[in-house]
A and B are shown apart, each in its own frame.
Chain A
Amino acid sequence: MAHSYTPGLKVTENTIVRKERRLPLKGDVSAKKGDVIKADDIIARTELPGDVERLNFAGKLGVSGKEVFDYLKIEIGKEVKKDDIIAESKGFFGLFKTQIKSPIDGTIEALSEVTGMMTMRKPPLPVEVDGYINGVCVEVIENEGIIVESPATFIQGIFGIGGETKGIVKMVAQSPDYTMTIDDISDELIGKIIVGGSIITADVLNKCVEKGVIGVIVGGIDDKDLKDFLNEEIGVAITGNEEKGITLIITEGFGEMAMAKKTFNILKNNEGKIASINGATQIRAGVLRPELIVTHDDEIKSTGQRMVSEEEHEGMGIGSVVRIIREPEFGNIGKVSALPSPLQKIETEAMVRVLEVEFPDGRKILLPRANVELIEE
């Protein structure tokens, strides 16, 4: 049977993190199995085919497609520089010649007798992939990349924007329910990954960008503020390519929500350390959540073997700590006090599997199992 609850996001001080570092196309992988990798090391590189330029060759010369090869001055497949003459008409008695100059540096890829069009390609674009985290290369994916592994602190957020970046963790909030203000964002935060408390506004985010903060981790954000900050509305939950100069990781959800104590405390314990973060989120197929990783560099050693994580994933039981992830009581944390198995009718009249949650003040409520997530203690 499918899980009847949402498995919690991973928030742990000690785990084994494995990251696949892959080129977009096949290329050269420089790292070898067993190599100790630094986050900034280039581990693979390739060249993406250059952009294509199409030229109305026959049209410019005023000839039919069938005649184009008569005028071509440079062989197909040869390199050309911008403004090189690639074709020339015969003109009248050697006068009034029409010349075609190359619009780009690149190569002539094809010329069609049917359409009279020339296809030219710009020089290839180099692409490099770095290690992203410190660790050991435990597997080489031939011509494509590697898998790097490391003992680390690992925090998954629920939603993020912006791509990979690395920097030092700095606590701005002193408590999980603190709300950051513009005045909190000082010059000394340049290049830092800052930790806020419950919510961030578009104004504060803009100030972060202005001051050179590279990453923000915070409990919540209002959708309206996210829209204002991005200048657009996110339609589908696929993020990571926003180019705002900052990576944002939301740990709890949309709206004002104190960061979970456990997440906050782990971040606090890692203040001053270098973290790798990525805001990329993709909820459909594969489920990619934003993340923060602080590698335990003193424990990294090359054994050539994969390490085994000691965690156990237990199901939900009486006493499990859960967070409510839908209204009402959204964001509140409690303990499971009963797990009745028959389907029960809820307020909407839907018949669903439910559980009983007891809050710290002793109050108990029944709610659908689908509306809680497990907090791994």
Chain B
Amino acid sequence: MKDKNNILRIIATDCGSTTTKAILIEKREGEYRLIVRGEAPTTVEAPYEDVTKGVLNAIKEVEELSEVIILDGDKILKRENNTDKDGVDVYISTSSAGGGLQMMVAGVVDRMSAESAARAALGAGAIVMDVIASNDKRMDHERIKRIRTLRPDMVLLSGGTDGGTKKHVVQLAEIIEAADPKPRFGSTYNLPIIYAGNKDARENVKESLDDKTDLYIVDNLRPTLESENLLPARDKIHDLFMEHVMAQAPGYKKLMEMTDVPIMPTPGAVGLLIETIAKRDNIEVLGVDIGGATTDIFSVFQLAFNRTVSANLGMSYSVSNVVKATGLKNITRWVPFETNEKDLRNRIRNKMIRPTTIPSTLEELQIEQAIAREALRLALEHHKAMAVGLKGVQTERTISDAFEQTSSGETLVNMETLNLVVGSGGVLSHAPRRVQAAMMAIDAFLPEGITMLAVDSIFMMPQLGVLSTVHDSAAAEVFSKDCLLKLGMCIAPMGKGKPGQEALKITIGEKVYTFNYGDIEFLDDIKSSERVRAILKPAKNLDIGNGKGKEMEIELEGGLVGVIVDTRGRRPFNLPENDSERIANLKRWYKSLNLYPEY
């Protein structure tokens, strides 16, 4: 691959399960920018069974739109010289087609090594199908049956600190051996298993698994109780994803030859980008991608990166599961009109069985956005439960902290210190009014204090994630200029007040704005991308980040939507139980933010 300084043009694709998206990035007037985007249906399934067909089709669309020749037949045309008009310097790709990477993890203690193993797998971009632990209260034969029926793409086995007892982790290896698991794609190769446990047990694990599986040994991911070392396991997962999982999927061998760097699992690439941005700007970030089947959440809090996949929370295939998980009442609480339970249930089911349909009436849109709020809320709950404990790979904890984790499982997710929320996925990125995306994020995540809200304009975070591995500054430039659409800041004081009472005063220069408890409104006068210094003074029982009643001077930033002041309360945020009162409140809030055309 060319030297970074000589890279002018980059083509990047993301092979999703239904659509393959291609973007063309080019350096113009000294900065890297997104030039055009193309897409085509993914061609992993029959009758095509060759992922490169979809990739070439998507790139062809880019060629037509950009008027740059990128393809030479079925090959990517490379720029040999800097004077070449056509061709690209780099081709990179991510993939989640064929169900992405599906893993099973095992560890000795569910809240310790098994949890660390799950974090490593999730961080690498996998869907964790099940976590087997010595103390998961299942009988051995139940665990064996589970391993056998799930057919994961690979297994990550961990457990035991280095030099500690080996018995339990060897027992897990024996359970895997007895299950004799087969990989998801055919029976022509052995299932890859990564062992990242007690180094003293390596020989015993080899004895159990070397013959029956394709065993790889990496450094212990929990070498001591108070340290976590996820990187070797994560890297090995990426390698094996390429070598085994992707190589089995139709057309991927060809695709792997086309790309300049290894193909990454889509969520792994998104995670990498979020991590890079958080580090670069020294901020805490929460990224969410809500799809038809799953919702992924990525976060960086206290420098620790975490990712979770809520495998059955989504807006089409999994929409009924959102109802199952949260209950119909929690969905209808966001709907500003009376609903009939039978009718609503049928509507949601019909969306599940015909997932490509779109809401065509305002009522349908409001119902869909109500479901999205609950899917996002539940996904965040799930993420909070998983993003706990160790404060990053480099930061060590004391033994007492480690035990505290097992008892309390305190989450790293802190909505008060969170700086940026990035939303993506159809329901957020394609909401007819941008303010609807902002409101869904606010209602679902309940950000506290001051938080910037943004959406990924065309979901190019995956491609930018891989790009960050070859050209970090190009990835960062495109991310902030073309990918991230800032909606505006949300200001939400914490605490409880009485409806109608003054909650917050904002002073900007000579002007003073007052906000009452129980409302949500725009802070007028801050236009798109404008930054202004402001003094925020909460009421004595409310806290904006400096303590109850304490004022704060801060630079406020607008966006496509504007600055939203949410004085509806936090800790707790409550909607009225009484239906007519609840509907009246929703209508008032929606009207105040001009959320829908009819209010």
Q: Footprint of B on A, CB under 8 Å?
A: 1-2, 6, 25-26, 49, 51-54, 65, 109-110, 112, 114-115, 117, 119, 121, 158-159, 222-224, 233-237, 253-255, 281, 283-286, 325-328, 330, 346-350, 352, 367-368, 370-371, 373
Contact with A along B317-343 (1 / 0, CB 8 A): 110110111000000000000000111
**Are the CB atoms of B346 and A222 closer together than 8 Å?**
yes
Please report the C-alpha to C-alpha distance between residue A81 and residue B155 in the assembled complex, in whole angstroms: 34
Residue in B40, B174, B343, B347 whose CB lies within 8 Å of A112: B174
Q: Are A233 and B324 in contact (CB under 8 A)?
A: yes
A52–B170 CB distance below 8 A: no
**CB nearest to A348 among chain B residues:** B365
Cα–Cα, bound, A370→B364 (Å): 14
- Provide the residues of chain A in CB contact with B145, threshold 8 Å: 51
* Residues of chain B contacted by A330 (CB below 8 angstroms): 350
Between A and B, 9 residue pairs with Cβ closer than 8 Å are: A51-B141, A112-B170, A114-B201, A159-B353, A236-B320, A254-B350, A346-B360, A349-B597, A350-B430
Asked whether B350 lies within 8 Å of A235 as measured between CB atoms, the reply is no
Using Cβ atoms and an 8 Å threshold, which residues of chain A touch B171?
A: 112, 115, 117
Residue among B41, B170, B177, B360 facing the most chain A CB atoms (10 A cut-off): B360
Chain B's interface size range is: 35 or more
Q: Is the CB of B361 within 8 A of A370?
A: no
**Does B358 interact with chain A (Cβ within 8 Å)?**
yes
Contact indicator B350/A325 (Cβ below 8 Å) = yes
Pair A237/B320 contact, Cβ less than 8 Å? yes
Nearest CB in chain A: distance from B189 CB, A: 14
Closest to A233 in B: B324
* CB-contact partner of B317 in A158, A236, A325, A368, under 8 A: A236
* Closest residue of A by beta carbon distance from B201: A114
Which of A110, A223, A253, A286 is the most central at the interface, judged by chain B CB atoms within 10 Å of its CB?
A: A223
Q: Pick from A25, A109, A286, A326: contact of B350, CB below 8 A.
A: A326
A237→B187 contact, CB < 8 A: no
- Chain B 156-178, CB-CB to A under 8 Å as 1, else 0, gives 00000000001100110011011
B354–A6 touching, CB < 8 Å: yes
Residues of B with C-beta under 8 A to A6: 354, 356-357
Collect the chain A residues with CB atoms within 8 Å of residue B182's CB: 25
Cα distance, A158 to B354, chains bound together (Å): 8
Contacting A285 at CB < 8 Å: which of B41, B99, B201, B352? B99
Q: Is A2 a contact of B41 with CB atoms below 8 Å?
A: yes
Are A325 and B354 touching (Cβ within 8 A)? Answer: yes
Given contacts A110-B178, A235-B321, contact A283 B361 (CB under 8 A): no
Closest 4 CB pairs of A and B: A235-B321, A54-B140, A349-B432, A223-B345
Within the complex, the shortest CB–CB distance from A241 to chain B, in Å, comes to 11
- Chain A residues, CB < 8 A from B41: 2
Contact A235 to B99, CB < 8 A, known contacts A253-B353, A367-B360: no
User: Which B residues have a C-beta under 8 Å from some C-beta of A?
Assistant: 17-19, 40-41, 45, 98-99, 140-141, 144-145, 166-167, 170-171, 174-175, 177-180, 182, 187, 201, 204, 208, 292-293, 312, 317-318, 320-321, 323-325, 341-343, 345-365, 430, 432-433, 597
Chain B positions within 8 Å of A285 at CB level? 17, 45, 98-99
Closest A residue to B167 by CB, please name it: A115
Other A-B pairs, 17, CB within 8 Å; known A114-B170, A233-B324: A2-B40, A6-B356, A6-B357, A54-B178, A114-B204, A117-B171, A119-B174, A223-B342, A233-B320, A236-B321, A253-B349, A255-B346, A325-B350, A326-B357, A327-B363, A327-B364, A348-B432
| A114/B167 in contact, CB under 8 A | yes
A52/B317 in contact, CB under 8 A: no
Known A115-B174, A254-B350, A326-B350; contact A237-B357, beta-carbon cutoff 8 A: no
Q: Does A110 lie within 8 Å of B174, measured CB to CB?
A: yes
Q: Which residues of B contact A235 (CB under 8 A)?
A: 312, 318, 320-321, 324-325
Which chain B residues border A158 with CB–CB below 8 Å?
353-354
With A52-B141, A237-B320, A348-B432 already in contact, the answer to whether A115 and B170 are too (CB < 8 A) is yes
Cβ of B350 and Cβ of A255 under 8 Å apart?
yes
Q: Which of B167, B312, B358 contacts A371 (CB 8 A)?
A: B358
| CB–CB A233/B350 < 8 A | no
A326 touching B360 in the complex, CB below 8 Å, given contacts A114-B170, A115-B170: yes
In the assembled complex, the CB of A55 is this many whole angstroms from the nearest CB of chain B, namely 9
| B350 in contact with A371 (CB, 8 Å) | no
Cα of A173 to Cα of B584 in the assembled complex, Å: 46
Give B149 Cβ to nearest chain A Cβ, in Å. 10
Residues in chain A near residue B144, CB distance under 8 A: 51-52, 54
Question: How far, in Å, is A372 (CB) from chain B's closest CB?
Answer: 9
CB distance from B204 to the nearest CB of A (A): 5
Contact B433 A349 (CB under 8 A): yes
Q: Are A53 and B141 in contact (CB under 8 A)?
A: yes
Enumerate chain B residues within 8 angstroms of A370, measured Cβ to Cβ: 356-358
**Are B178's CB and A347's CB within 8 A?**
no
A348 touches B174 (CB 8 A): no
| Nearest B residue (CB) for A118 | B174
Q: Complex formed: what's the CA distance from A88 to B182 in Å?
A: 36
When distances are taken between beta carbons in the complex, the residues of chain A under 8 Å from B293 are 236, 284
In the complex, which residue of chain A has the Cβ closest to the Cβ of B597? A349
Smallest CB separation, B353 vs chain A (Å) = 5
Identify the closest chain A residue to B363 (Cβ).
Answer: A327
Q: A253-B350, A349-B433 are in contact. Are A371 and B174 (CB under 8 A)?
A: no
Q: Select from chain A the residue with minimum beta-carbon distance to B18.
A: A2
Minimum Cβ distance to chain B for residue A346 (Å): 5
Most buried by B among A233, A284, A349: A284
Q: What is the bound-complex CA distance between A285 and B180, given in angstroms?
A: 26
Cα–Cα distance between A63 and B172 once the two chains are bound (Å): 21
Q: Given contacts A26-B187, A235-B320, A236-B317, are A350 and B358 in contact (CB under 8 A)?
A: yes
Q: Are A254 and B356 in contact (CB under 8 A)?
A: no
Would A237 and B432 be within 8 Å (CB), given that A119-B174, A158-B354 are in contact? no
- What chain A residues lie within 8 Å of B98 (beta carbons)? 285
- Which single member of B17, B175, B345, B357 contacts A325 (CB below 8 Å)? B357
Do the beta carbons of B360 and A371 come within 8 Å of each other?
yes
B178 touches A109 (CB 8 A): yes
Answer whether A327 and B320 are a contact pair too, CB < 8 Å, given A223-B346, A285-B99: no
* B350–A110 touching, CB < 8 Å: no
In the complex, what's the smallest C-beta–C-beta distance from A373 to chain B, in angstroms?
Answer: 8
Which chain B residue has the least Cβ–Cβ distance from A371?
B357
- Please report the C-alpha to C-alpha distance between residue A26 and residue B342 in the assembled complex, in whole angstroms: 46
| A222 engages B353 (CB within 8 Å) | no
Q: Whole-angstrom distance between the alpha carbons of A274 and B167 in the complex?
A: 58
- Which residue of the partner chain A has the closest CB to B430? A350
Knowing A115-B174, A285-B17, say if A237 contacts B353 (CB, 8 Å).
Answer: yes
Residues in chain A near residue B354, CB distance under 8 A: 6, 158, 253, 325-326, 373
Q: Is the CB of B345 within 8 A of A254?
A: yes
- Closest A residue to B322 by CB, please name it: A235
- Chain A residue with the shortest CB-CB distance to B354: A325
Complex interface: chain A residues within 8 A of B343 (CB) = 255
Please report the C-alpha to C-alpha distance between residue A228 and residue B321 in the assembled complex, in whole angstroms. 16
Q: How far is the CA of A167 from the CA of B24 in the complex (A)?
A: 57
In the assembled complex, the Cα of A330 lies from the Cα of B433 at a distance in Å of 26
* A263 → B minimal CB distance (Å): 16
CA distance A223 to B293 in the complex (A): 20
Shortest C-beta distance, A122 to chain B (Å), equals 9
A283→B353 contact, CB < 8 A:
yes
